[in-house]
Structure 1
Amino acid sequence: MSAKPAPQLVAEVPLRPMTPALVLFGRDDAGRPRAAWFDVSEAKLAAQAAEVMNLRVVQLADDEQRAFADLFTHGRVFSSGRAFVPYVRRELFPRLLELAGVQLDSDGTDQAPAAEDGPPAATQEPERGTLPRASTAAPPPPAPPGPFVGHKLPRDRDEIGLGSIVLAHEGPDEGWWEAEVIGINGTVHSLRWRDYPTQPTILRRADELALLPPAKA
């Protein structure tokens, strides 16, 4: 009985890690800072999304700036033309403003946009002998809460949300790999492998995820 030939080993060549090329940043309606980085292949679409979302764009010029941008979450551009740009820590925002050449106030924050010029609109007074008409317009309903944007490198499970980097595996013999949370539906998390972003999206329950070691987080 002849022996079976030994299987040939195929060397795996990992994809080139994505490198930050530019950062989109700004504030939401409540003044909370938000920012995300995009690589060179996403630069054009990210710049278009910045116009749609009224965000600033910072082109990264050197390794020091790219290392700073890596503190933020890797953003995504949606088919709608908008982008995923999560919230960031307030203490990082002044540095982004400096990179964008925005003049800072004495407290280290950017100046709020000035109000439009022009006289205030005149109010219409009721006719003499009549009572003012009460407004019948109902207040707008409160906006539904959006998905939780988590800490980029969570140290506790309560900090896991959109943009968080966690550990996941495809099987007990496959080992654990870094993955980014890109969607949450109840207790099910949608993730993409951080080093293999072109691989299909994976779904994992919250109890199937692990946190990065404290030394790396």
Structure 2
Amino acid sequence: MGKKTGKTEPAKVDPVYVLGLDANGKPRGARFAELKDSIVSAAMDMKCRVLIDQPAPVSALGMKLPVGRVYGGGKVVRLFVPNIRRELYDKVLEAAGPLADGEPAAEKNDVRGQAPEDLQAKSEADAAPDDVRCISPVTSGLPRSWEEIAVGHMVLAHESPDDGWWEAVVIARDAEILTLRYRDAPKLPKFIRHINTVALVNPGLA
């Protein structure tokens, strides 16, 4: 038997932490075990801040974030970043400090503590009168028409009058019939919808 050196291996930390606010202004965050351009790009599309290869003080807090999920493949993927406690959200961003030059992030404004209506007013005030952009989060790979819907695209599917509409990912298309699965509930059974019964998500400016 070999001799024990008494040294312990340093705890493994994930290289990517993603933090941001959802459409209702609630904090969300996740950690990812792999550093990929597609993950960073998808996080930026969600208007999230991306922290990569952080020092120990930030990583110690970042590892308290829930594990994020990646959907899709290739260069176009989608992320599931769950809601987290405001306390943890603030602590991670405080430890990370101000945005460094070249750090991947979709927004350089500090939006912590601001209400959604404050963010909307600020966005509209900063934009020129003739160039007010949609402030809702934009996700890459959204179809611009029902004819463009293809495998990997996200659409909205109606569940029931009580449950409303939910994000769904197209996993197959046969003429005008779509096979879908719910984006945020991948373990639920896949289901079928006619192309005319799904709704499109705003793809943003062309």
Give the shorter-chain TM-score range. 0.3 to 0.5
Higher normalized strand content (fraction of residues): 2
Higher CA-based Rg:
1
**TM, length-normalised to structure 1:** 0.42
Point out which structure has higher relative CO (alpha carbons under 8 A, 6+ apart): 2
Higher normalized helix content (fraction of residues): 2
**TM, length-normalised to structure 2:** 0.44
